[in-house]
């Protein structure tokens, strides 16, 4: 195991992790992972303790990560565990919003782990759009599962006269590990693409193979046709869901009046909106302007449709005391939109905001904080964004750090010290 973690560091230096399943208590899965390269990980006393007792475990899976989605931090290292599923993933999905609660996870790998904990592999594997080789343990029946698609390699081999199975991402790596440890392997196999292999009770001579339908990619374009992107999510190797322009009509062809009517609204109608946030997009002469967004207090006719109300070209000074409050706006127009996890939403553009102070008493100005991409956050939102601390050192983020820290592209905070140390 030590040799595997060491040599596999060549494939990823950002994080290293182990999942270990005890022989006599398979539900007590042990996870040990750190945001460090394999060589440093092997120097940890905890790592040494676990690997010196490796015979106590029926399954011991290691992973070296090169960060693709999510920051370099302990919590983003593999493996990921949700419910009875503990999983490692090699590869990158193009998007994972189509998985159960997909938008709740920054990491595509963690999204897969959660998805497999709430739905069967028959439902989840066909939804994986992108590269993957997966290994996971299901504590509900003490089984080990492996599967890959054609974008990632995966190899395994049974050691002769031992109940030992070696798994690696590369043929040469597996062969080297076996040779270095004086293990003779009957044969090295590469699992058939789309076939889930299931091992149970350390009986590696027998396994169940389940064939899955994989995500279908668009590879051929007929003469006279072309691809266009409209749906706002990664699909195949372009941006968007694709349609044949000769046959299909883009969803935004509906007029604004028809669209509003579809949801029981009309242009010029005054509606109450709960203000959610204010995003600054311009600062001139010391005055910040931007857009306010919120949600209707009334229900749309189609309650399953996602919606947002946007009021553009507003002064931040006029809005800062009304975040998380209710105002009245006048509907101007609307259009449909799609995004991560939203297949058909409605964006209502409004103007003429009317902000009322109840009982003629001055409202309390609530504390506001600077969040990712300059977005204004309430105290509740700030606490949610910073609850796990700095993505680099995991140190605490305090209220007074607002405006001093920076943020990763996936909206995780980097404390001031790490910002200076790593020139973030």
In tens, the pLDDT along 84-102 reads 999 999 888 888 888 998 8
Q: Is pLDDT above 50 for 232?
A: no
Residue 94: predicted pLDDT: 82
Question: Which is more confident, 221 or 60?
Answer: 60
Residue 173: predicted pLDDT: 80
Question: Which is more confident, 125 or 257?
Answer: 125
Average pLDDT, the chain: 76
**Which of 58, 89, 84 minimizes the C-alpha distance to 199?**
58
Q: Is pLDDT above 50 for 17?
A: yes
Mean pLDDT for 11-30 is 83
Mean pLDDT for 324-337 is 77
Least confident span in 106-115, 263-272, 291-300: 291-300
Mean pLDDT for 116-137 is 93
Confidence band of 282 (pLDDT split at 50, 70, 90): low
Confidence band of 342 (pLDDT split at 50, 70, 90): very low
Contact 304, 360 (CB under 8 A): no
Contact 352, 387 (CB under 8 A): no
> Phi-psi bin for 321: left (phi > 0), alpha (psi -120 to 50), beta?
alpha
Residue 409: predicted pLDDT: 67
What secondary structure letter does DSSP report for 217?
P
Give every CB contact of residue 350 below 8 A, 6+ residues apart in sequence. Answer: 271, 273, 309, 310, 311, 329, 330, 331, 332
Mean pLDDT for 319-337 is 74
Most confident of 27-31, 92-96, 136-140, 345-349: 136-140
Domains of the chain as residue ranges with CATH: 2-211 (3.60.20.10), 251-360 (2.40.50), 368-421 (no CATH)
Question: Which is more confident, 85 or 349?
Answer: 85
Confidence band of 162 (pLDDT split at 50, 70, 90): confident
Residue 230: predicted pLDDT: 34
Residue 194: predicted pLDDT: 93
Return d(Cα 374, Cα 371) in angstroms, integer: 6
What secondary structure letter does DSSP report for 375?
B
Confidence band of 119 (pLDDT split at 50, 70, 90): very high
Residue 72: predicted pLDDT: 62
376 — phi, psi (to 5°)? Answer: -80, 130
Q: What is the percentage of the chain residues whose pLDDT exceeds 70? A: 73
Mean pLDDT for 26-52 is 83
Mean pLDDT for 262-270 is 80
217 — phi, psi (to 5°)? Answer: -100, 155
Residue 300: predicted pLDDT: 60
Return d(Cα 197, Cα 203) in angstroms, integer: 13
Global pTM reads 0.52
Return d(Cα 116, Cα 135) in angstroms, integer: 12
Return d(Cα 90, Cα 153) in angstroms, integer: 9
Confidence band of 229 (pLDDT split at 50, 70, 90): very low
Q: How far is CA 397 from CA 18, 19, 391, 394, 414, in A?
A: 28, 30, 10, 9, 9
Residue 364: predicted pLDDT: 44
Residue 354: predicted pLDDT: 81
Residue 413: predicted pLDDT: 86
Strand stretches in 28-132, DSSP E: 30-34, 57-65, 80-82, 85-90, 93-95, 129-130
Give every CB contact of residue 303 below 8 A, 6+ residues apart in sequence. Answer: none
Residue 135: predicted pLDDT: 93
Confidence band of 234 (pLDDT split at 50, 70, 90): very low
Residue 251: predicted pLDDT: 39
């Amino acid at each position: 195991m030590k040799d595997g973690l060491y040599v596999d560091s060549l494939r990823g230096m950002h994080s290293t992790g182990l999942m270990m399943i005890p022989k006599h208590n398979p539900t007590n899965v042990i996870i040990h992972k750190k945001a460090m390269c394999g060589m440093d990980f092997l120097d940890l006393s905890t790592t040494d303790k676990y690997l010196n007792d490796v015979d106590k475990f029926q399954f011991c899976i290691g992973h070296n990560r090169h960060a693709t989605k999510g920051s370099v931090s302990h919590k983003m290292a593999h493996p990921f565990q949700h419910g009875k599923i503990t999983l490692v993933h090699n590869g990158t999905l193009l998007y994972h919003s189509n998985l159960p609660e997909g938008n709740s996870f920054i990491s595509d790998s963690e999204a897969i782990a959660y998805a497999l904990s709430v739905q069967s592999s028959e439902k989840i594997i066909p939804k994986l759009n992108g590269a993957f080789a997966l290994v996971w343990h299901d504590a509900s029946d003490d089984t080990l599962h492996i599967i890959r698609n054609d974008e990632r390699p995966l190899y395994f081999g049974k050691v002769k006269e031992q109940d030992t199975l070696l798994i690696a991402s590369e043929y040469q790596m597996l062969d080297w590990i076996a040779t270095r440890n004086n293990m003779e392997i009957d044969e090295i196999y590469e699992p058939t693409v789309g076939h889930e292999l299931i091992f149970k009770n350390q009986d590696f001579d027998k396994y169940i193979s389940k064939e899955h339908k994989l995500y279908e990619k668009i590879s051929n374009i007929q003469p006279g046709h072309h691809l266009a992107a409209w749906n706002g999510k990664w699909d195949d190797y372009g941006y968007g869901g694709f349609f044949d322009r000769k046959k299909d009509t883009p969803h935004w062809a509906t007029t604004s009046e028809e669209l509003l009517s579809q949801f029981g609204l009309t242009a010029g109608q005054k509606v109450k909106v709960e203000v959610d946030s204010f995003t600054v997009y311009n600062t001139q002469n010391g005055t910040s302007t931007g857009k306010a967004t919120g949600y209707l207090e009334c229900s749309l006719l189609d309650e399953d449709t996602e919606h947002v109300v946007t009021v553009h070209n507003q002064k931040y000074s006029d809005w800062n005391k009304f975040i998380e409050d209710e105002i009245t706006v006048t509907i101007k127009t609307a259009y449909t939109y799609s995004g991560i996890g939203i297949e058909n939403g409605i964006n209502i553009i409004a103007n003429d905001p009317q902000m009322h102070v109840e009982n003629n008493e001055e409202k309390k100005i609530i504390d506001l904080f600077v969040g990712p991409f300059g977005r204004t956050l309430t105290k509740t939102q700030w606490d949610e964004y910073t609850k796990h601390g700095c993505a680099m050192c995991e140190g605490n983020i305090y209220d007074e750090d607002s405006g001093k820290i920076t943020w990763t592209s996936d909206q995780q905070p980097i404390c001031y010290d790490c910002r200076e140390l790593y020139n973030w």
